[in-house]
Amino acid sequence: MQDERCYCERRVSELAIVYLCLGSNLGEREENLCQALTLLSLKVNLDEVSSIYETEPVPIQNRDKEQPLFLNLACQITTNLPPVELLHLAKEIETSMGRVPSGQINSPRPIDIDILFYDNKLMETQNLTIPHPRLKDRAFVLIPLAEIAPDLVHPKLGKSIAQLANNVEGQKGVRKYKGGFDVSAICGRAL
C-alpha cells in the first residue's frame, strides 16, 4: 500500500535532491522542528535528518534586546516540486505554525525553513536564491549540513560542505543538542 504522505511510489530518477535548514527559537523549539518535518513529509520525501544543534541567534540590526537560542537542523529531501513551489510550501508551513512576517531579518520565530541547495541548480530571483546566499558564512547551517552531506560540493564555491564547515566562523556557538530524528517514524515508512 502506498504511503500518500511520502509519495513512496514515485521513481527516484524524477526527483530533485534538496537540502533544507530548519530553525526555531520561539515556543517549544524541538516540537516545532518535529512538526515542520512532519508537515514537509506530507508533500516531499524526507530522506535524512541531522542531529539538532542549539545555536546562538544572528544579531538583529539596530536592536539591543536579546533573543532566545535557536535549535537548528539540516535535512535532505527529494521532491518533484520545482524550487518556487517548494519555497511556497515552506512559507505555508511557517505561516501555519504561527510565523508572522516581522519585516526584520533574523527576528525570533517559531519556525524558519530555508532552501540551501536544489540539485546543482543555480538560481536567483527576487524571492529565492539557490544556493542560499549566506550559507557559507553560517556555522549553524554548515555544521548540521556537514553531518548529513559532508561531500556535497557548493556549485559556486567549488568546496565541499565539510571544507566550508571546518573554516566557518562561529563554530563555538553551535552545540549538539540531540541526535537525529528517526525519519522512518516521521515519514511512516522504512528507508
Looking at the predicted structure, is the pLDDT value of residue 35 above 60? yes
Length of the chain in terms of residues written: 191
Place of cell 531579518: 105
Q: Which helix (H) or strand (E) holds 143?
A: helix 139-148
Q: Is the pLDDT of residue 189 over 80?
A: no
Higher pLDDT, 103 or 28: 28
How confident is the model at residue 5, as a pLDDT?
A: 41
CA within 13 Å, CB half, 189: 17
Which residues does 144 contact at the CB level (< 8 Å), separation at least 6? 21, 50, 51, 52, 53, 72, 73, 74
pLDDT at 191: 35
**Where in the sequence numbering do the catalytic residues fall?**
99, 109, 112, 114
Q: Are 111 and 40 in contact (CB under 8 A)?
A: no
- Let me know if residue 168 belongs to a domain: no
Name residue, grid cell 530522506. 47
Contact (Cβ atoms closer than 8 angstroms) between residue 72 and residue 140 = yes
State residue 18 phi and psi, 5-degree precision. -130, 145
Q: Is the pLDDT score of 174 beyond 70?
A: yes
On whether residue 43 sits in a domain, the answer given is yes
* Residue 163 is assigned to a structural domain of this protein: no
55-113 per-position pLDDT tens digit: 988 765 545 567 889 999 999 999 999 999 999 999 999 999 986 765 556 567 889 99
Closest CA to 156 of 126, 183, 133: 133
**Domain containing 107 — which CATH number?**
3.30.70.560
Identify the residue whose cell numbers are 543555480.
122
153 within a domain of the structure (yes/no)? no
Residue 141 forms part of a structural domain: no
Does 46 score more than 90 pLDDT? yes
pTM of the model: 0.85
Domain region containing 179: 12-135+175-187
| Domain assignment present for 38 | yes
Whether 144 maps to a domain, the answer reads no
Distance CA 87, CA 8 (A): 22
Residue 66 exposed, middle or buried by CB count within 10 Å (0-12, 13-18, 19+):
exposed
